[in-house]
């Protein structure tokens, strides 16, 4: 099994290109099931999760071709050969559950395994199912599978979400595109990935208004058509690389970076002392050399502080001049990186959904283990400044969400390498 070796060796300087958004492209891929015409996606990141979801879609009859060295995906679901997404495939990637809405809307029937993914909390799917039931679907849970049927088609409805769930918003929105009548999703997720999905669906002929706000209105249409859609930049990769020069020192320009994708995070970075400038190519983040200021954060749905950047921000706060408090409100069990940071000399105390971080002058490299996708990269970030060598094991988590991270960091001066496992 591969590992990543990081040796703290000073400031980072240069440019890092930001890949297309993982959380966007996965949902756009699922949207291909809504039409019998081709959907072409550009600016696609080359990640393990793309292959996993491709396997799910191909099992349903979707044909997928990778073009332009994997940067373009051509999906063609002209004929769906199955309405069942098997456990062996879906368990590997939680986003696979978002085939449910499109399959149900197009075929009137879908059988989808309960999802898997990172072990960072229950992340129940009850809101997904409630939304589909409001649209007229009949739902049964049998043998670990969701059996959803709508033999007479779906009908528009009002869908009030008790929480601004990204997955539930997206499953409901995709299903509603082919429902008869008008659907209104209230307390909808406002994430850029959800807005990007709506933009893709509109390009395919859907009638959607309000995406990016807490109320989305969908007027159902009889059919969707093919389209070509570019994937937006990955705001989580962008935020991760914004933190890197603050920990290691230096100045890094993020090619394709956009402030509008991470407003609350950018504010917290500036509060910590980062200098952020918009450039012709993206964003430039500079550590002015005045130390890292302690900052308190609470994770919230967009436009609040992203839960997917909490672990990375904690790694930065480990070097702050004072005490920071990080409150996790989205997922339970999302402080699993804290014990690994402790192995490197961090001072972190976790009580339920709150972590108190007291900054230290130095940390020391150690053997650490990645427990989930974002935890893995937080350990790499800490290793950029730790004395000696940090070995991050079980980096298959990392490959699910970061494209060639060791190459991107090496290009700006980091001493980092991948060690091939046996």
Active site positions, annotated:
118
239 to 160, 245, 246, 386: CA distances (angstroms): 31, 11, 11, 20
CA 246 to chain centre: 22
CA 141 to chain centre: 27
Distance in angstroms between the alpha carbons of the first and the last residue of the chain: 6
Is 94 annotated in a binding site? The answer is yes
Give the integer Cα–Cα distance in Å for 173 and 166.
Answer: 10
Is 22 annotated in a binding site? The answer is yes
Give the integer Cα–Cα distance in Å for 192 and 111.
Answer: 29
Q: Hunting for tokens 């290009």 — which residue is that?
A: 411
Is 293 annotated in a binding site? The answer is no
- By CB atoms closer than 10 A (0-12, 13-18, 19+), residue 143 is exposed
Q: Enumerate residues 6+ apart whose C-beta is below 8 A from 53.
A: 26, 29, 30, 93, 95, 96
Q: How many CB atoms lie within 10 A of CB 411?
A: 15
Q: Enumerate residues 6+ apart whose C-beta is below 8 A from 142.
A: none
Give the integer Cα–Cα distance in Å for 112 and 257.
Answer: 36
Token digits of residue 222: 């009889």
Token digits of residue 359: 């900054």
Q: Enumerate residues 6+ apart whose C-beta is below 8 A from 124.
A: none
Residue 215, classed as helix, strand or coil, is: strand
Closest CA to 125 of 161, 178, 82: 161
Beta strands across the sheet bearing 275-278: 12-17, 250-255, 282-286, 275-278
Binding residues for phosphoenolpyruvate: 22-23
Binding residues: 22-23, 94, 308, 330
Binding residues for UDP-N-acetyl-alpha-D-glucosamine: 94, 308, 330
């Amino acid at each position: 099994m591969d590992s990543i070796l990081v040796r703290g060796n000073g400031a980072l300087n240069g440019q890092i290109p930001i890949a297309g958004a993982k959380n966007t492209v996965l949902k756009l891929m699922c949207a291909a099931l809504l039409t019998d015409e081709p959907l072409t996606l550009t600016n696609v990141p080359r990640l393990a999760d793309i292959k996993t979801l491709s396997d799910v879609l191909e099992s349903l009859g979707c044909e997928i071709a990778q073009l332009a060295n994997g940067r373009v995906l051509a999906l063609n679901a002209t004929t769906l050969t199955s309405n069942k997404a098997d456990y062996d495939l879906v368990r590997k990637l939680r986003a696979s559950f978002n085939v449910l809405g499109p399959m149900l809307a197009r075929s009137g029937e879908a059988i989808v395994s309960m999802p898997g993914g990172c072990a960072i909390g229950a992340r129940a799917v009850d809101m997904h199912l409630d939304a589909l039931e409001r649209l007229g679907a009949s739902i049964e849970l049998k043998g670990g599978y969701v059996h959803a049927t709508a033999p007479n088609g779906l009908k528009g409805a009002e869908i009030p979400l008790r929480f601004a769930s990204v997955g539930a918003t997206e499953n409901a929105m995709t299903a509603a595109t082919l429902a008869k009548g008008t659907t209104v999703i209230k307390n909808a997720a406002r994430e850029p990935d959800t807005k990007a999905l709506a933009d893709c669906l509109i390009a395919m002929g859907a009638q959607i208004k309000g995406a990016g706000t807490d109320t989305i209105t969908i007027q159902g249409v009889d059919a969707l058509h093919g389209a070509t859609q570019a994937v937006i930049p990955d705001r989580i990769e962008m935020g991760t690389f914004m933190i890197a020069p603050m920990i290691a020192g230096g100045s890094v320009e993020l090619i394709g970076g956009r402030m509008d994708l991470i407003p609350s995070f950018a504010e917290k970075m500036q509060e910590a002392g980062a200098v952020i400038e918009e450039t012709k190519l993206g964003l430039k983040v500079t550590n002015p050399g005045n130390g890292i200021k302690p900052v308190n954060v609470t994770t919230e749905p967009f436009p609040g502080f992203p839960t997917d950047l909490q672990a990375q921000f904690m790694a930065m706060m480990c070097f702050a001049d004072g005490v920071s408090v990080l409150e996790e409100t989205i997922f339970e069990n999302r402080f699993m990186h804290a014990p690994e940071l402790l192995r490197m000399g961090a001072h972190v105390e976790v009580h339920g959904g709150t972590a108190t971080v007291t900054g230290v002058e130095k940390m020391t490299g150690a053997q650490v283990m990645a427990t989930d996708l974002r935890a893995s990269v937080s350990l790499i970030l800490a290793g950029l400044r730790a004395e000696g060598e940090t070995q991050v094991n079980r980096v298959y988590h990392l490959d699910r969400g970061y494209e060639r991270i060791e190459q991107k960091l090496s290009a700006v001066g980091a001493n980092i390498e991948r060690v091939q496992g046996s």
